[in-house]
Amino acid sequence: MADGERAPCLVVAGSPARGGKPILERLQGCGALRATHRRRRLSSPALARLIAHARAVLMPSLAEGFGLAIVEALSLGTPVLASDLAAHQEVGGAYALYLDPRRPGGWVREIIRLAEDGGHHAARRALLAGYRPVTADDYFARVTAFLEGFG
């Protein structure tokens, strides 16, 4: 496991959700991370640069309505580790890696693997070259097909 200067650095973009402050406080005291940085009020271009240059984007949500951060990251070619929620799987498909948000051990292992295994990281980025986000036309075609099933 990486430690010291080799340990991963976590950047938390945006404001924490309700109830998220204790989690951020725990992260800042976590010995497995080199540092935890918070970035709030980023412009869209600044956020895009941060995502594009990240080793990975983490989405350990317990509940999610859509998963826009997943679409943004995958569109920029950045690997994603996300909770195994249906909303995440719908937008990320086979391009994101899905983990149980209640089992931190799996998250730690995959974060370290992406941080230390250059071949694995390169393979994840190469896979993302084929990612295309769902368009409005795609979405409404699915809705129409679903509704026609009630025929």
Give tens-digit pLDDT for 49-96.
999 999 999 998 888 888 899 999 999 999 999 999 999 999 999 999
Is 46 inside any structural domain? no
Per the prediction, the chain carries an average pLDDT of 88
C-alpha distances in angstroms, 53 versus 19, 40, 45, 76?
A: 28, 17, 12, 9
Q: Which of 38, 63, 32, 65 has the alpha carbon at shortest distance from 50? A: 38
pLDDT at 139 over 80: yes
Which range marks the domain in which residue 120 is found? 56-148
- What is residue 37's predicted lDDT score, i.e. its pLDDT? 81
User: What is the C-alpha separation between 46 and 112, in angstroms, rounded?
Assistant: 26
- What is residue 51's predicted lDDT score, i.e. its pLDDT? 96
- What is residue 1's predicted lDDT score, i.e. its pLDDT? 53
User: What is the C-alpha separation between 89 and 96, in angstroms, rounded?
Assistant: 8
Is 47 inside any structural domain? no
Is 49 inside any structural domain? no
Is 50 inside any structural domain? no
- What is residue 46's predicted lDDT score, i.e. its pLDDT? 95
Give tens-digit pLDDT for 85-127.
999 999 999 999 999 999 988 988 998 899 999 999 999 999 9
| Residues sharing a CB contact under 8 Å with residue 10, sequence separation 6 or more, in sequence order | 27, 33, 35, 36, 37, 58
The count of domains in the chain is 2
Pick the more confident residue, 59 or 1.
Answer: 59
Q: Rounded to two decimals, what is the model's pTM?
A: 0.84
Structure tokens at 72: 């943004």
| Cβ–Cβ under 8 Å, residues 95 and 80 | yes
- What is residue 18's predicted lDDT score, i.e. its pLDDT? 75
130 and 67 inside one domain: yes
C-alpha distances in angstroms, 50 versus 1, 5, 81, 89?
A: 25, 20, 16, 23
22 and 92 inside one domain: no
